[in-house]
Amino acid sequence: MRPRSPLGVLVGLAAMLAALAALLVDHAVRRSESAAAVAQRLQQAAGTLAPDAAALFAMTPEQADATIRRWSALSGFRVTLIDADGGVHADSWAFFGPLPRLENHAGRPEVTTARSAGVGVGRRRSATTGRVTTYLAREVGPPARPLGFLRLAQEDAPDESPWAGAVAAVAAAILAGALAARWERRRHDAVVRHLAAWSDLPADAGLETIAGDVDRRFRSLRERLTREVEATRAALDQVVEGVVLLDREGVVRYANPAAATLLGGAPPTGHAFVEAVRIPEVLGAVREVLAGGGTRHTSATGADGLELAVRAAALAHPVLAAAVVLTDVRGERQLERARRALVADLAHELRTPLTVLAGLTEELGETGANAELAATLARQVGKLRAFAADLEELARIESGQVRLDLTETDAVTVVAQVLADLGTAAREAGVTLTHAGGPAPVRTDALRLAQVLANLVDNGIRYNRPGGRVTVTTGRGAHGVRIEVADDGVGIPAAEIALVFQRFYRVRRQAERSGGNGLGLAIVKHLVHALGGTVTLASREGLGTTVTVVLPEAGSGA
């Protein structure tokens, strides 16, 4: 049920009473009024209504109609709103529908005078009613750019009884009240409709009650969101990584203390990121993310020579567009350099004692003193030599000293050669080697690719069971040529999969089955990266392992 409109009822009743009283009094004095007196009354009324008239020009003619009719009923004058270009915006003596078809009023004498002097008066016979009428136009709005004109008009008093005018005034007052009531009901219904989604109260609960309930809900929501934002800021303030949040214009919305330390100064909130940061690599990553989205990774040198890993990522947020995360990797880089130096030094230092041991083993074998001991010693020296060779190979690869001879070849040819070379070892272990898939044209170093595949196939043989199978599958993929080496052997525990590419790491259960030194997969990883590819490993304990190598396809320009 729609609420009744007390405003409309009061407007109509007040307008009707005022109109009746004004008509009865006015009838006695209108005949004696001079044109000057009429103009003075019009000017006084215009001065009273002009401050409120400015707001009516911002309304539609339909919305302004009820107000000017109410003014007309209260004042007894015809009220007209004329736009700055002369068009009739609203008229108390005309309905708003036909207004666009009315004659342009820019040339009316009172309007012309008001445009230059602020107020203009005209007296003539009305083309509409045929009666002599006094008009007064007043400019509305700033003189430099007026919104329009408020025009009031009064006809000379007729000889007949005023009751006909009273009836018309009463009818106009009733219409004004009805229009006001209708407008208020529409406004009430529109407001309630918008607030209904935020309140559980029924629509007939009253606008003030519904608004109060919505206000309480909004306050509660704002307080909760404020607490969450403050908690997030407090957490980010304790993070050792630098975090900077930017909007779509590259303006800093938040920067934690760690960012200030790593960048040599806190990017000020509310200012452009480029104004506070002068590190080219960081700025480049941010520009790319803001322009094209996605994620960018790079490295840079921060304040005081800090080595930084930079990650810039786009955000799906109505305000924030990008997040920049800065990590001090100086310790990690130093540790990595120390590891590489250790590997190189260890490989170098093993050469001399291995050479001595090899010579002693040969002499021991030649004397025939203990053939079994000599054979055991020879096997162990061979393992140490293989270990030293792997260390030297890994040191060269990691230091970038490996020379690659990149040519276009079919990986199927390399796979066939590797399977042929390891055929004897597979037969001795009771493992079947097979090839599947189609052509795989790659641009690579064939000898290094053979080294990678030999290592992977050898692992598939060693960590398998009699009757097992190792399958090498080749073919083109979405990102290059794919080479998969899959076995159905013992597999790798899930907790250890992430560690198998680290140097010297050996899966605990597999270490008991073989004398591997834990360098094979580390060499594979670094060689594949040197060849411009990627390597991944998937495994399920007891079901087998699959290693996937992706290399640039021949002719791709990679």
Checking if the pLDDT of 471 tops 90, the result is yes
Per-position DSSP letters for 106-117, written without gaps between them: TTSHHHHHHHHH
Mean of pLDDT values over 405-418: 89
Q: At what angle do helices 163-195 and 6-29 cross, to 10 degrees?
A: 160
pLDDT class for 420, splitting at 50, 70, 90? very high
Which domains, from first to last, does the chain contain? 6-186 (3.30.450.20), 239-328 (3.30.450.20), 332-398 (1.10.287), 407-551 (3.30.565.10)
Share of the chain above pLDDT 90, in %: 16
Ramachandran region of residue 305, left (φ > 0), alpha (ψ -120 to 50) or beta? left
Q: At what angle do helices 371-398 and 520-530 cross, to 10 degrees?
A: 30
pLDDT class for 310, splitting at 50, 70, 90? confident
Q: What is the pLDDT of residue 207?
A: 72
Q: What is the pLDDT of residue 430?
A: 94
Residues 6+ apart with CB under 8 A from 285: 296, 297, 298, 310, 312, 324
d(C-alpha 69, C-alpha 298), whole Å? 71
Mean of pLDDT values over 261-286: 82
Q: How many helices (H) and strands (E) does the chain have?
A: 16, 17
pLDDT class for 487, splitting at 50, 70, 90? very high
Q: How far are the Cα atoms of 231, 232, 245, 297, 317 from residue 228, in angstroms, in the given order? A: 5, 6, 17, 29, 16
pLDDT class for 166, splitting at 50, 70, 90? low
d(C-alpha 48, C-alpha 154), whole Å? 16
- Position 275: which residue type? E
Mean of pLDDT values over 166-170: 65
Q: Beta-strand (E) ranges in 406-463?
A: 407-410, 432-437, 441-444
Average pLDDT, the chain: 79
Ramachandran region of residue 270, left (φ > 0), alpha (ψ -120 to 50) or beta? left
pLDDT class for 138, splitting at 50, 70, 90? very high
d(C-alpha 325, C-alpha 456), whole Å? 36
pLDDT digits over 344-354, tens only? 556 555 666 76
**pLDDT higher for 411 or 22?**
411
DSSP state of 131: S
Per-position DSSP letters for 39-79, written without gaps between them: HHHHHHHHHHHHHHHHHHTTS-HHHHHHHHHHHHHHH-SEE
Q: What is the pLDDT of residue 512?
A: 47
pLDDT digits over 4-25, tens only? 555 555 555 565 666 666 665 5
Q: What is the pLDDT of residue 554?
A: 80
**pLDDT higher for 134 or 334?**
134
Checking if the pLDDT of 281 tops 60, the result is yes
Tell me the longest C-alpha to C-alpha distance in the chain.
155
Ranges 25-29, 241-245, 315-319, 332-336: which has the least confidence: 25-29
Q: What is the pLDDT of residue 22?
A: 64
Mean of pLDDT values over 194-221: 76
Checking if the pLDDT of 529 tops 90, the result is no
Checking if the pLDDT of 124 tops 70, the result is yes
State residue 539 phi and psi, 5-degree precision. -155, 150
pLDDT digits over 380-392, tens only? 666 666 566 655 6
